Every structure is written in C-alpha cells, then in structure tokens.
Amino acid sequence: MQKPDASSKADITDNQIELLANISSELQSIELRSHQFSLKPSPSVTPKDMLILAQLTDSYLLNPDIDGVVITHGTDTIEESAYFLDLFLESKKPVVFTGSMRSFSELGYDGLSNLVSSIRVAASDDSIKKGVLLVMNDEINAASEVTKTHTLALDTFKSMEFGPIGIVDEENVLYYHDAHHKQISLKPESLNATVEIVKAYSGSSSLILNLLIEHGVKGIVIEALGRGNVPPQMIDGITLAINQGIPVVLTSRCPMGRVLDTYGYIGGGHHLKRLGVIFAENLNSQKARIKLLIAINALKTQQEIISFFKD
C-alpha cells in the first residue's frame, strides 16, 4: 500500500491485476502496489522463507512512499510467519497478515472481504505502532497473541487470553486496547540453527529429547503439562540438553494461561527453573520456537537468550 501518485505496476501479475480490480471500488482513496513473493502452500513455508519475507517487508517499509504492508498467507502457518515479522521488524508502520478459510471456488469465499479489511487496517493512522497484526473475519489480533483454534470455522483466529485488540466495522478501524506482549526486535542475518518442539504427555520419556540432542539440535521447546510441569522421565533428557548448552524453553499445552515455577516436585515448574529451563510465559509452543530460533541465530550467549525471553 502506498500514497497516491506513486508507481503501482511493479511486480504485478495478471492474477494480481484482476484481484486488485475486484476490490478497487471499495478502496478508492488507497493506492496499491502488489508483489508476488511465493506460491508455496503454508505447510511448506519454512523459517528461512520467513526471514526472506521479513527482509523484503523491511525494504518496503523503508520506502517513504509506502504507508503500510498487507501480506496474504495460508492459514496453517500464518501465525508463525506473522510472529516472526513481529520479532524482526522495527518500523512503526502497520504490517497486516490475512488469509482465507474458504477457497475461491467455495460458497462464501472470505478472501476478498478479509483482504479489504486488512488494507483498511494498514491504511489507518490508528494502526501505527501496533506491531504486526492479523486481520480476518473483521477482527484485529496481535501477531504475538493470536492462534488458529478451529480447522474450519471462519472465526478460527482468536487471541484466547486477551481477545482481539480491535475490529473493522464497515470502513471504520476501531481499537480497544494494545497488545499484551511488547517485543524487542532482533534481526538475524541467517537461520542456521535447528529448534524442535517436544510435547509432554502422561509417561513421556527422554527418548525424543536424547534423539534430538544426538542429531545436533540447537534449541528445544517443551510443550509441558498444565502450569509448566513434565513427567519425571523427561528430566534426564532436559538435564543433558542444558548441560550441553542447548537452551530449553518451556510452554504449556493448555491453550490459555502462563507457565510458572509453582510446583516443587520432580518435573514441576520450580524444579525445571532450578535446572535452567527458560519460561516462555504466555507464548504457545509454535511461537516460542520462532522466538528461540531468532534468539539463537541473533544472540551470542545463553544469558542474552534468557533476557530476551524475559523481555
């Protein structure tokens, strides 16, 4: 999206010209520029793709003629890409992710309405300094808080802990509050480390943890039970990882609430804290993985990584 009179024809394909023509009557006061970044389905999007997308977005935001950026993305991994850019970008200009839950050939296709709403959000002065946003179903959610909650529903994207930060009501963009999470930006030049997620469950062992350590993983996120607890059988693997300098970050498999060092038994949060496990507060496991991946590739010491999660 750009100010009037700037060139809007660069990098536009025939399909994009048709798409922009379909929505132009709804957005007569906004000049649009289009760029096709990738045709990958979202399950194929990797963190390295996210880094390239973040760098491309950053270059657009540096252009004084650009007032904001809207990114269309498949919904399976959209929250991870949006959170990656939220951690990477420093610009105060709006960056908005959107997608659709129904395909163009399905009755009730929601792609065009989501795109129009997202452009309106990106064009609003009230969206400045809000961080990266996700707009679907006329709700505005912070990238740091939103997650996909349903495999099919149009209102699948929710900030379960804090609710949407705003809505789009016809042509009006209305904000209720700011995002709970305030990010400190980091800009890794490359992503060479591997971070994996391990889910805890009744009787889960150290087998997967030991396998990851053996294969040279550089970071581990544990999706723990409840308040942030794991079965005692996982302690040997967690201890081995920490002793080898591999950061271990703790989240919960519960969809709401934060992890905390409440319980002192073996495998409890207090025990894990004493071992050196890093607590991810309210982040879910997929966002904690993105944050740890960026931290490992941008920071030099374990203490810097710990401080990044505290901030």
- Structure confidence by residue, pLDDT tens digits, 244-279: 999 999 999 999 999 999 999 999 999 999 999 999
| More reliable by pLDDT, 160 or 13 | 160
- Tokens (6 digits) for 87: 């951690």
Average pLDDT of the residues of the chain = 92
pLDDT at 105 (0 to 100): 82
Parallel, antiparallel, or unpaired for β 139-142 and 166-169?
A: antiparallel
Contact at 8 Å (CB) between 121 and 94? Answer: yes
Residue 1 has pLDDT above 60, yes or no: no
Rounded CA gap, 213 and 98, in Å? 36
Residue 27 has pLDDT above 90, yes or no: no
Residue 103 has pLDDT above 60, yes or no: yes
Confidence of residue 17 (pLDDT cuts 50, 70, 90): low
Confidence of residue 32 (pLDDT cuts 50, 70, 90): confident
Classify the phi-psi angles of 152: left when phi > 0, otherwise alpha if psi is within -120 to 50, otherwise beta: alpha
Residue 9 has pLDDT above 60, yes or no: no
Mean pLDDT of the 290-301 span: 96
The DSSP line for 163-223 is --SEEEETTEEEE----S--PPP---S-----EEEEE--TT--SHHHHHHHHTT-SEEEEE
Residue 18 has pLDDT above 90, yes or no: no
pLDDT at 33 (0 to 100): 87
For the chain, helix (H) and strand (E) counts, in that order, are: 9, 12
pLDDT at 107 (0 to 100): 83
Classify the phi-psi angles of 194: left when phi > 0, otherwise alpha if psi is within -120 to 50, otherwise beta: beta
- Of 194, 215, 195, nearest to 278 (Cα)? 195
Domains of the chain, first to last? 14-175 (3.40.50.1170), 195-310 (3.40.50.40)
| Residue the block writes with tokens 């179903």 | 137
- Structure confidence by residue, pLDDT tens digits, 65-99: 999 999 999 999 999 999 999 999 999 999 999 99
Parallel, antiparallel, or unpaired for β 132-136 and 139-142?
A: antiparallel
Confidence of residue 14 (pLDDT cuts 50, 70, 90): low
